[in-house]
């Protein structure tokens, strides 16, 4: 008898543990709605990224809602601003999970903020798809409920530097990076190729986050005789660097990273930005896929939001599509456990804005395919380099 | 030699922008005894308004200049009337905290009113490059240096000879006695906020001309504050010159020591100067510190 009771208790406990948090909670779902939460920098300098990514989420949600929602339930999007302040990211994620009681999380701020908020997300067990900041810490080691759409900064830089090195053999190199996690990742990727290809680096600078005047830095670059330059700024910094180079009448072969690969940057760089190379894993707007995405987005967002579309809108859109598809596959009564299991089963999901997305058992990073693009000032666009 | 001259010219150009914003700090401090931590944000707002005028109403340089100046005056007056005047008589610490709160609100306003994208202020001038003996300089950079020097002279004359300037000095020295002499302290405060907003706004507009507008522009206030401390918190002219010194020091450090030293150099300089002259190079000895 005791043995039977013990076995029954064990079975019950195991069942509770297996379905535990999801079955017990399963918040954010009513008969008519499913809540999806997001915390992004909507104010402060990186708002350019956060706002654009949230527009991508809205497009995917509007598209799904227009098609009847997820198995009859409309998706409601709960968006919080963290102002790119880590403490506010944590506060915002807790608020969205505990107060708004969303069913799943998407997006989630920048690199440092995502890293800081990881214990909260992991402890909550809520299905989460991060698309704003693909940093290795988020998927190494893999966390049960956290999935990341994108490509790592380091891989991106390695791809770009490899391309530029192959195209410009024997040339002198210059590099400037920001003094933070982002800059360290850029530098690490650069150093990997420098070591492998024995590149001749004649200038290596480091600027403080928030620096706006690059006159002495670019003068040093000119003085060093660098012929190939990796501009490791984010957005405004790269513009300032290119304009300084224009003032100094030099034009090295220049590569920039995807955070700055947005069309308005080219307008501000003017002729100084013509021909610069960039690496990215989302399609350029100048290509067929990019144009098709804009066509799709136009009726789904406001005029102001449409103007705010940039590459981060594509990453946000793709991540939201993957999450929505996973919830949808769970049928009429989606749970956290099912959504996580379905996210894990994601195979070659087409979003139209990047290569097909896949995860797998223990694989929480989509590892998107990279491509090189080149700036064309005349059309203010980036075009793929064949 | 050309390397050094290029560093000096670039340093003077960015230093002139710091100097203008630093003068904005000093004008308010000199008249009200208050450090306005929203100075960088006020600078940024004026620059954004100038950009809006240039893109929606007119790109004519005079229209943009007059519009931006009027907007800066209005901004200064509104802030003084709605935010600062109710704080009269409150502890300095509380009033300073209000300026910090104001800074955050103005910073957020950029994204709500405008957007987070960088923008270029194009008024048909200021962006061209001229080559002086092989050294490239943007015309906007030359203009900001000239403007700073002209403003330094004008402000010196204003405080020295005009009735209003003398009244402002009187209120700064002893507002109760000034009141007994028939000077309205509130009017002087309002004027100081308006003047500070305009002077710093000019710096912001020149920055936008030479570089670009972006929501990160508020950080110019953080760069200009050391210039004010260096020149003297109560020294309007000294603050302007302090800006030039900080700009040159930053560029020389960046050019000769290393790019990482650029942002540190200005602060290192003020630490050294303040150890020798705690009231700044041109400041008066009796400064009540916050």
Give the whole-angstrom CA distance, residue B171 versus residue B152.
Answer: 21
- DSSP-assigned states of every residue in A318-341: HHHHHHHHHHHHTTTS--HHHHHH
Q: Give the A:B interface size as CB pairs under 8 Å.
A: 125
CB B119 within 8 A of CB B49: no
Question: Nearest by CB to A219, which of B116, B222, B255?
Answer: B255
Chain A residues touching residue B107 (CB < 8 angstroms): 43-44
Segment A201-220 shows an average pLDDT of 90
HEC profile of A117-133: HHHHHHHHCCCEEECCC
| pLDDT tens track for A231-281 | 998 888 899 999 999 999 999 999 999 988 888 888 889 899 999 999 999
Q: Which two tokens mark B44?
A: 């940024």
- By C-alpha distance, which of B15, B210, B211 is closest to A235? B211
A176 and B6 within 8 Å at the Cβ level: the answer is no
Residue of B nearest to A49 (CA): B116
For strands A371-376 and A277-280, give the pairing. antiparallel
Three-class SS state of A46:
coil
Buried b vs exposed e over A255-276: b needs ≥16 C-beta within 10 Å? bbbbbbbbbbbbbbbeebbeeb
d(CA B93, CA B106): 20
The verdict on a CB contact (< 8 Å) between B14 and A44 is no
What is the block-wise mean pLDDT of chain B (290 residues), using blocks of 10 residues? 90 95 92 90 96 89 93 95 88 90 91 85 86 87 95 90 85 79 86 94 93 88 90 89 93 87 84 84 66
Q: What is the pLDDT of residue A179?
A: 87
What is the enclosing helix (H) or strand (E) of A371?
A: strand A371-376
Task: Report yes or no: A317 and A353 within 8 Å, Cβ to Cβ.
Answer: yes
Question: Is the pLDDT at A20 greater than 70, yes or no?
Answer: no
Q: Give the span between the Cα atoms of A76 and A28, in whole angstroms.
A: 9
| Tens of pLDDT, residues B57-91 | 887 889 999 999 999 999 999 999 999 989 887 88
**pLDDT tens for residues A74-98?**
999 999 999 888 999 999 999 999 9
Q: How far is B77 from chain A (nearest CA, A)?
A: 26
- The CA distance from B195 to the nearest CA of chain A, in Å, is 26
Task: Map residue A250 onto helix, strand or coil.
Answer: coil
Give me the pLDDT at residue A318, please: 97
Q: Does B212 sit within 8 Å of A236, measured CB to CB?
A: yes
Q: How many residues in total does chain B contain?
A: 290
pLDDT tens digit string along A283-327? 999 889 999 999 999 999 999 899 889 999 999 999 999 999 999
Could you tell me the pTM of the whole model? 0.83
Per-residue pLDDT at A169 exceeds 50: yes
Whether B111 sits inside 8 A of A307 (CB atoms) is: no
How much is the ipTM here? Answer: 0.84
- Minimal CA separation from A8 to chain B, in Å: 58
Q: Is B249 on the interface with A (CB under 8 A)?
A: no
Token digits of residue B85: 């005047």
Mean pLDDT throughout A339-355? Answer: 96
Run of H or E residues at A151:
none
pLDDT band at A24 (very low <50, low <70, confident <90, very high): very low
Does the CB of B40 have a partner CB in chain A at under 8 Å? no
Taking a C-beta distance cutoff of 8 angstroms, is the pair A346, A319 a contact? no
Q: How far is it, in rounded angstroms, from Cα B242 to Cα B219?
A: 17
Q: Nearest Cα to A97, choosing from A141, A129, A75, A128?
A: A128
B115 and A307 within 8 Å at the Cβ level: the answer is: yes
What residues pair up with A172 in beta bridges, in sequence order? Answer: A200
A205 DSSP 8-state letter? E
Which residue(s) pair with A282 in the sheet? A354
Contact A75, A324 (CB under 8 A): yes
Measured between CB atoms, which of A45, A205, A217 is closest to B215?
A: A45
Listed residue (A41, A210, A43, A52) closest to A113, CA to CA? A41
Contact B139, B126 (CB under 8 A): yes
The DSSP code sequence of B14-34 is HHHHHHHHHHHHHHHHHHHS-
B173: exposed, middle or buried (C-beta count within 10 Å: 0-12, 13-18, 19+)? exposed
Contact residues of A toward B, CB < 8 A: 42-48, 50-51, 83, 176, 179, 205-208, 210-213, 215-217, 219-220, 223, 235-236, 239-240, 243, 246-249, 264-265, 267-268, 307-308
Contact present, B225 and B136 (Cβ < 8 Å) = no
- Å between A327 CA and nearest CA of chain B: 32
B250/A213 Cβ within 8 A: yes
Give the pLDDT of residue A7.
Answer: 54
* Per-residue confidence (pLDDT) for residue A16, from 0 to 100: 45
Cβ separation of A215 and B11 shorter than 8 Å? yes
Cross-chain residue pair B212–A223, CB shorter than 8 Å: no
What is Dmax (Cα atoms) for chain B? 60
Average pLDDT over chain A, rounded to an integer: 90
Residue A111 clears pLDDT 90, i.e. is over it: no
Whole-angstrom Cα distance, residue A113 to residue A41?
10
pLDDT at B186: 85
pLDDT computed for residue A109 by the predictor: 79
How close does chain B come to A280, measured CA to CA in Å? 20
CA B75, A304, A265, A59 torsion-angle sign:
positive
Please indicate whether, in this complex, the C-beta atoms of B107 and A212 are within 8 angstroms of each other.
no
Residue whose C-alpha is closest to residue A368's, from A195, A159, A169, A103: A159
HSE-up (13 A, CA, CB side) for residue B280: 29
Q: Would the CB atoms of A212 and B260 count as touching at under 8 Å?
A: no
**Closest alpha carbon to A71 in A343, A329, A381:** A329
Residues from chain A that touch B212, judged by Cβ atoms under 8 A, are 236, 239-240, 268
Q: Is the pLDDT score of A21 beyond 50? A: no
């Amino acid at each position: 008898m005791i043995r039977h009771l013990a076995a029954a208790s064990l079975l019950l406990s195991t069942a509770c543990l297996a379905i535990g948090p999801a079955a017990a909670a399963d918040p954010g779902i009513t008969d008519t709605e499913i809540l999806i939460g997001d915390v992004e920098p909507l104010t402060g300098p990186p708002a350019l990224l956060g706002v654009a990514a949230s527009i991508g989420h809205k497009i995917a949600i509007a598209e799904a809602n227009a098609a009847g929602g997820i198995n009859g339930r409309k998706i409601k999007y709960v968006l919080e601003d963290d102002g790119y302040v880590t403490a506010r990211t944590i506060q915002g994620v807790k608020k969205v999970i505990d107060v708004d009681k969303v069913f799943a999380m998407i997006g989630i701020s920048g690199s440092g903020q995502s890293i800081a908020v990881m214990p909260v997300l992991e402890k909550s067990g809520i299905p989460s798809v991060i698309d704003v900041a693909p940093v290795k810490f988020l998927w190494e080691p893999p966390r049960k409920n956290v999935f990341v759409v994108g490509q790592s900064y380091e891989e991106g830089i390695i791809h770009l530097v490899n391309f530029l090195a192959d195209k410009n053999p024997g040339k002198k190199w210059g590099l400037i990076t920001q003094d933070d996690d982002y800059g360290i990742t850029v530098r690490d990727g650069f150093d990997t190729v420098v070591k492998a290809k024995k590149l001749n680096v004649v200038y290596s600078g480091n600027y403080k986050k928030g620096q706006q005047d690059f006159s002495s830095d670019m003068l040093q670059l000119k003085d060093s005789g660098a012929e190939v330059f990796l501009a490791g700024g984010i957005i405004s910094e790269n513009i300032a660097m290119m304009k300084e180079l224009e003032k100094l009448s030099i034009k090295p072969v220049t590569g920039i990273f995807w955070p700055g690969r947005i069309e308005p940057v080219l307008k501000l760089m003017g002729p100084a930005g013509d021909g610069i190379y960039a690496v990215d894993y989302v399609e350029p707007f100048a290509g067929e896929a990019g144009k098709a995405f804009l066509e799709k987005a136009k009726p789904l967002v406001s005029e102001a939001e449409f103007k705010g579309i940039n590459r981060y809108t594509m990453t946000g859109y793709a991540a939201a599509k993957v999450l929505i598809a996973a919830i949808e596959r769970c049928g009429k009564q989606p749970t956290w456990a099912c959504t996580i299991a379905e996210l894990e089963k994601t195979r070659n999901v087409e979003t139209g804005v990047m290569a097909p997305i896949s995860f797998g058992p223990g694989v929480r990073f989509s590892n998107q395919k990279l491509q090189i693009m080149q700036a064309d000032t005349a059309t203010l666009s980036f075009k793929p380099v064949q | 030699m050309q390397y050094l001259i290029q560093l000096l010219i670039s340093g003077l150009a960015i230093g002139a922008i710091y100097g203008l914003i630093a003068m904005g700090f000093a004008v308010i401090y000199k008249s009200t005894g208050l450090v306005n931590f929203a100075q960088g944000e006020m600078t940024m707002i004026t620059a954004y308004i100038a950009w809006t005028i240039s893109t929606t109403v007119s790109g004519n340089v005079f229209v943009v200049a007059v519009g931006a100046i009027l907007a800066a005056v209005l901004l200064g007056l509104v802030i003084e009337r709605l935010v600062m005047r109710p704080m009269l008589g409150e502890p300095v610490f509380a009033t300073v905290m209000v300026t910090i709160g104001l800074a955050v609100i103005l910073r957020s306003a950029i994204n709500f009113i405008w957007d987070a994208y960088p923008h270029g202020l194009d008024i048909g001038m200021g962006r061209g490059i001229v080559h002086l003996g092989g050294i490239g300089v943007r015309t906007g950079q030359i203009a900001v240096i000239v403007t700073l020097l002209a403003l330094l002279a004008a402000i010196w004359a204003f405080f020295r000879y005009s009735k209003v300037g003398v009244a402002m000095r009187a209120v700064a020295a002893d507002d109760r006695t000034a009141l007994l002499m028939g000077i309205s302290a509130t009017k002087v405060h309002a004027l100081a906020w308006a003047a500070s907003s305009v002077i710093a706004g000019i710096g912001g507009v020149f920055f936008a001309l030479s570089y670009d507008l972006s929501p990160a522009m508020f950080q110019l206030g953080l760069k200009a504050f050391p210039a004010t401390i260096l020149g003297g918190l109560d020294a309007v002219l000294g603050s302007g010159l302090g800006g030039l010194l900080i700009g040159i020091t930053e560029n020389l450090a960046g050019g000769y020591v290393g790019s990482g030293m650029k942002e540190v150099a200005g602060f290192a300089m003020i630490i050294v100067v303040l150890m020798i002259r705690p009231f700044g190079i041109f400041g008066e000895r009796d400064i009540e510190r916050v």
